[in-house]
């Protein structure tokens, strides 16, 4: 998905707010840095004026006597400017780190629905690339504004005080440059937004290419995905070329203004000097200040394209920060210890106008073992996701131990569930670490006990480094059964009162399934169990089975009761038994 950008000048305060702990340092730095050019130009002009006077008088003693003063001022100015620039740069770097933390925290707390609208590659581009540009863009924009207001307009004000004609010449050339640069803003911004989106698409394509490499090779899709990446690459280069051409055009007025200012001041100044209306010293100061204005206009022209590119990144960051995050409550303890799960008149849809659940209700008591069965797309996994608050309902209440899931803190709600999905995620870490993620405060003895309970010890001893064996990205070094047993060991370690099993054995071979079932027998003791299963033979011991079809509970009862009913469940059971035997 492409993240669409919009104007963000109103969002500059929001992004710069990440500098708040270092505001004083940053303010001193940016004001000092922006006014440094004005001070240096004045000192340089004063020095040139003194040299001119000494030259015309043929008396170098007039200059030599002032060298210590000028040297001290120039060295002191250089040191001061260096300190100001350090204050500014260090504050921006600290603010950049703070913004990345804020953006990461915001992204992690976005509703899963929002996260799923954007490819993971685009999220990576936002956090790695765009976030780094965002605060630098705002700093650069603010720096350019202050440079124009403080340095350039200060210089022009001084020139006006000495000569109106020189003042108008300088101001006119500067305004022409600024207006021309501003005229190119809409095109440069849109082009840079398109380029940033193309880079996001490149990251998406590369992520798919690397993550799905086995499927790509197995289905001879290498050429297709390669072309998809190269298309995004060409799209990025297309916008880069257009930006380069426009940047050359947009920088021309700034280059021209430099020569216009220099020529205008010198021509007017020589005439005024000849008429005795301007001293040599004043002429050199005005010329030096005017040259500084010209260099500022050139610098603005040169940095303008880079600024627009960074502002396009800031657009994307600001847009994400405007997204609403999931709100959690403050409660940490259950209200009702007997009713484990309650779904009350649940309405939910993934896509607006296409409801999945319309008034679904159910109650799962503490210690009860229930199973959700039925065909694909019936809402089984969605019901589990609503309990975990992966999604929020459109209406209705989801209660866990008598309390609305929205009233719990995130850690408190998570602590009530142990979740074993069909395809458990393995982190690129050791086996020990992957299990310990179930309870990060667990002792090694507790982890080793979970290893035995999950039957992980049956294969861990054969691995070259035992517990310290790295499982690789997404657990590629392990078999499906091994990953599943690690997930079960993780659930043992978490020791939560509610266990959610979402197709925990569906993709395993018979031998692996048997081992997993043995591990699950111990895991379910004393817990409330909610299972999602297509293989009905794994659910016959459930106290209640809910048959879901197109978001509705069409049947409910024990295995025997539903077989006797001779309805949907009986049909599914008979079909599977015929296939099995």
- Number of domains within the chain: 2
CA angle 564, 570, 574 (to 5 degrees): 125
Does residue 218 sit within a domain? yes
Please count the CA atoms within 13 angstroms of the CA of 373 that sit on its side-chain side. 27
Write the CATH number for 236: 1.20.1560.10
Cα–Cα distance measured from residue 426 to residue 479, given in angstroms and rounded to the nearest whole number:
11
Residues 56 and 126 grouped into a single domain: yes
Residues 38 and 146 grouped into a single domain: yes
Whether residue 434 contacts residue 482, with contact meaning beta carbons closer than 8 Å, is answered with no
Helix then strand then coil, % of the chain, to nearest 5? 65, 10, 20
Cα–Cα distance measured from residue 23 to residue 44, given in angstroms and rounded to the nearest whole number:
31
Does residue 88 sit within a domain? yes
Written as six digits, the tokens of 113 are 């629905």
Written as six digits, the tokens of 409 are 């803190």
Domain that holds residue 109: 9-321
* Torsions phi, psi for 418 (to 5 deg): -115, 130
Cα–Cα distance measured from residue 294 to residue 400, given in angstroms and rounded to the nearest whole number:
68
Q: pTM of this prediction?
A: 0.68
> In 3-state terms, what secondary structure has residue 371?
strand
Residues 197 and 55 grouped into a single domain: yes
Q: What is the pLDDT of residue 5?
A: 44
Chunked into runs of 10 residues, the chain (581 residues) has average pLDDT values of 46 75 87 75 65 61 64 76 88 88 86 78 78 82 77 79 80 73 70 78 75 64 78 83 75 66 72 75 75 71 68 80 85 86 93 88 92 88 91 92 92 90 84 87 88 80 82 79 85 88 69 68 80 84 91 91 91 79 49
Does residue 338 sit within a domain? yes
Does residue 484 sit within a domain? no
Residues 293 and 369 grouped into a single domain: no
Q: What is the pLDDT of residue 8?
A: 42
Cα–Cα distance measured from residue 194 to residue 186, given in angstroms and rounded to the nearest whole number:
12
With b meaning 16 or more CB within 10 Å and e meaning fewer, what string describes 490-519?
A: bbbbbebbbbbbbbbbeebeeebbebbeeb
Does residue 110 sit within a domain? yes
Residues 333 and 275 grouped into a single domain: no
Q: What is the pLDDT of residue 424?
A: 84
Residues 181 and 116 grouped into a single domain: yes
Residues 175 and 249 grouped into a single domain: yes
Cα–Cα distance measured from residue 519 to residue 418, given in angstroms and rounded to the nearest whole number:
14
């Amino acid at each position: 998905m492409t993240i669409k950008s919009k104007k963000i000048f109103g969002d500059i305060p929001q992004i710069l707010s990440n500098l708040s702990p270092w505001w004083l340092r940053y303010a001193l730095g940016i004001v000092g840095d922006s006014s440094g050019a004005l001070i240096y130009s004045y000192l340089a002009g004063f020095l040139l004026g003194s040299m001119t006077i000494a030259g015309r008088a043929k008396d170098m003693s007039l200059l030599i006597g002032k060298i210590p003063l000028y040297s001290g001022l120039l060295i002191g100015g250089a040191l001061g400017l260096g300190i100001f620039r350090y204050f500014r740069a260090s504050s921006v770097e600290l603010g950049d780190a703070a913004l990345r933390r804020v953006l990461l925290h915001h992204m992690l707390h976005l509703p899963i629905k929002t996260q799923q609208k954007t490819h993971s590659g685009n999220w990576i581009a936002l956090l790695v690339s765009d976030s780094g540009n965002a605060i630098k863009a705002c700093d650069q924009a603010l720096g350019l504004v202050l440079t124009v207001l403080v340095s350039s307009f200060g210089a022009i004000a001084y020139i006006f005080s000495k000569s109106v004609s020189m003042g108008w010449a300088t101001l006119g050339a500067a305004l022409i440059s600024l207006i021309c640069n501003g005229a190119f803003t809409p095109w440069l911004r849109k082009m840079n937004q398109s380029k940033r989106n193309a880079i996001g698409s490149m990251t998406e394509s590369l992520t798919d290419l690397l993550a799905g490499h086995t499927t790509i090779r197995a289905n001879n899709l290498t050429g297709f995905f390669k072309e998809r990446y190269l298309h995004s690459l060409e799209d990025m280069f297309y916008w880069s070329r257009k930006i380069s051409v426009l940047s050359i055009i947009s920088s021309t007025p700034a280059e021209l203004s430099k020569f216009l200012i220099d020529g205008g001041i010198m021509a007017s100044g020589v005439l005024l000097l000849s008429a005795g209306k301007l001293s040599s010293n004043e002429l050199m100061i005005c010329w030096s200040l005017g040259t500084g204005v010209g260099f500022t206009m050139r610098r603005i022209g040169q940095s303008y394209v880079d600024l627009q590119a960074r502002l396009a990144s800031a657009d994307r960051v600001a847009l994400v920060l405007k997204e609403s995050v999931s709100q959690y409550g403050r409660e940490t303890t259950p209200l009702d210890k007997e009713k484990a799960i309650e779904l009350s008149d649940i309405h939910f849809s993934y896509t607006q106008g296409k409801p999945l659940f319309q008034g679904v209700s159910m109650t799962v008591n503490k210690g009860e073992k229930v199973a959700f069965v039925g065909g694909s797309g019936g809402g089984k996994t969605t019901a589990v996701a609503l309990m975990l608050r992966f999604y929020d309902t459109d209406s209705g209440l989801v209660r866990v131990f008598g309390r609305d899931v929205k009233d719990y803190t995130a850690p408190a709600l998570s602590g009530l569930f142990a979740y074993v999905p069909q395809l458990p995620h393995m982190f690129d870490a050791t086996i020990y670490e992957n299990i310990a993620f179930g309870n990060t405060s667990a002792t090694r003895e507790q982890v080793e006990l979970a290893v035995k309970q999950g039957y992980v010890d049956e294969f861990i001893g054969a691995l070259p480094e035992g517990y310290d064996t790295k499982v690789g990205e997404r657990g590629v070094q392990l078999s499906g059964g091994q990953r599943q047993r690690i997930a079960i060991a993780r659930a043992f370690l978490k020791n939560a009162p509610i266990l959610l099993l979402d197709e925990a054995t569906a993709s395993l071979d018979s031998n692996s399934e048997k081992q997993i079932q043995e591990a699950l027998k111990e895991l379910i003791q004393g817990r409330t169990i909610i299972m999602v299963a297509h293989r009905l033979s794994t659910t016959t011991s459930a106290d209640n089975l809910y048959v879901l079809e197109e978001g509705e509970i069409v049947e409910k009862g024990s295995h025997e009761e539903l077989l006797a009913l001779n309805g949907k469940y009986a049909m599914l059971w008979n079909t599977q038994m015929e296939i099995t035997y």
